[in-house]
Structure 1
Amino acid sequence: MDIELAGATVALDGETNPIVDAVLAALRACGGTIVEATQPADILLISNPLRPGTTAQDPRFLHADARKAAVAMAERGGRIVFLVSAVAGMPMRRHPRFSMENASILAGMRTLAMEFGPKVLVNAVGFGAIEDATIISGDKAMLSHTPVGRAGSIEEAVAAVLFFCDPMNTYTTGQMLGVDGGWMAGYGRNF
């Protein structure tokens, strides 16, 4: 997916992983300029852990960072995109704490969208099982409950993030786009 960023500044707050690296490379290729998280940015990516069992910064701190960025963007406009696990929208029985943490991030994202719209668009991408050489997002067990029957690719994950960063997208805020092969639809679950 190609978008035209025309020098828009992009900052990352949170952890890095192969998806984040690919997103930053794609945004740079589309004309974005990567800046430090401490600098004002037109687009802020808030990267959260994508696999159960990973330790991360307290979600409250990332929410506070996102809110601070939204305040700075309020006059000129901007975009904030949270990168979360798909369990934000559908809890995973095997990982209750991870599910709860991601659901709280999703709720925080939506409050920012309500508070700072229409100038600041705030959205999330919820990743299911995404793999490169190994699973880099989600849980291998998700694959038995995925209607498309496979893990997603990094390229598919990047395309969803670019959708929210695209300057042509001016009417989407407060939403989570699930890049999970239909996992949140509940395919094959007996609960």
Structure 2
Amino acid sequence: MRTDLTGQVIFITGAAGGIGSATARRLAREGASIVVADIDKAGAERVAAELPSALAVSLDVRKAADAERAVEATLERFGRIDVLVNNAGVNTFKDRVDIDAFPEEEWHRVVSIDLDGLYVVSRAVVRPMIERGRGRIVNIASVVGVTAMRLQSAFVAAKAGVIHLTRSMALELGPKGILVNSLAPGSVLTEGTKKLFYGEDGTFRAQMAGFMQHVPLGRPADVEEIAEGILFLCEPSNSYMTGHLLMVDGGWTAGFMF
């Protein structure tokens, strides 16, 4: 997809790796200035150094003070924020167990980042957008927010919350000139999923091989394919879509293969 994002300032959380860094690179190729925000400041700086116009900021999405500082730094450098991509998120890797055994501390860790963190950052970023009377927000949800899976109750609940929060934000912010949409990736080939599902020693490698038989495209997405979906939601002429959930899942939720 080709578009022109020249002059756009795009703030991406969790941008030091995975989907976030792929999105930063993809949007930068279309001329956008990128704010690379991540709790991993060194990683954010590495990604920012690759881009023609970028700012790396340290951001723990759970901390309102971090979000305010990151927004202030962005406004000082670029003067505005046109698009927020709420990408920062985590999932459960070692504690994949049923709800009765799911650790309380793991529940709070996942929800505090995946759902609470999205609220914290959105609240900080949307204020200058409202002052300008325009903006865009793209919230990264997950296919499991629509079609639940076992053994990851916190992640499932948080991502379902992201989808419905997106709709609420669209209702509130649309009259103020701000479009809010969400994107739900299916399984994506990242360093984390390689260790869990797709690597030679992946914990759930055998189960995932069977599961992929139910996905029409028969494979996980590359991070660059998810970045293309995010680019579509950022595209300036895509100006009448808000409150929408874009599925980028290889057909996972289309129906049963058998």
Q: Structure 1 length as normaliser, TM-score?
A: 0.85
Aligned to 1:33: 33
Is 1:122 matched up with 2:180? Answer: yes
Unaligned segments of structure 2, at least 5 residues: 36-56, 58-69, 75-79, 95-108, 199-207
C-alpha separation in 2, matches of 1:188 and 1:52: 27
Larger deviation, residues 21-30 vs 37-46: 37-46
State the AA in 2 paired with 1:173: T
Larger deviation, residues 160-169 vs 63-72: 63-72
Cα distance change on mapping 1:139 and 1:63 into 2, 3 Å: farther
Higher helix proportion (structure 1 or 2): 2
Unaligned segments of structure 1, at least 5 residues: none
- Determine if contact 1:51/1:139 at 8 Å carries over to the other structure: no
- Determine if contact 1:50/1:85 at 8 Å carries over to the other structure: no
Shift of 1:83: 1.6
Larger deviation, residues 94-103 vs 106-115: 94-103
Higher relative contact order (CA 8 A, sep 6+): 1
Shift of 1:163: 0.3
Is 1:83 matched up with 2:123? Answer: no
Q: Which string of whole-angstrom CA distances, capped at 9 and with x for unpartnered residues, describes residues 55-85 of structure 1?
A: 5525223213213322321233111111222
Tell which structure's C-alpha radius of gyration is larger: 2
Aligned to 1:107: 164
- Determine if contact 2:15/2:87 at 8 Å carries over to the other structure: yes
**Aligned pair count?**
188
- Determine if contact 1:15/1:49 at 8 Å carries over to the other structure: no
Shift of 1:12: 1.8
C-alpha separation in 1, matches of 2:34 and 2:155: 29
Shift of 1:133: 7.2
Cα distance change on mapping 1:134 and 1:97 into 2, 3 Å: closer
Structure 1 counterpart of 2:129, from 73, 77, 81: 73
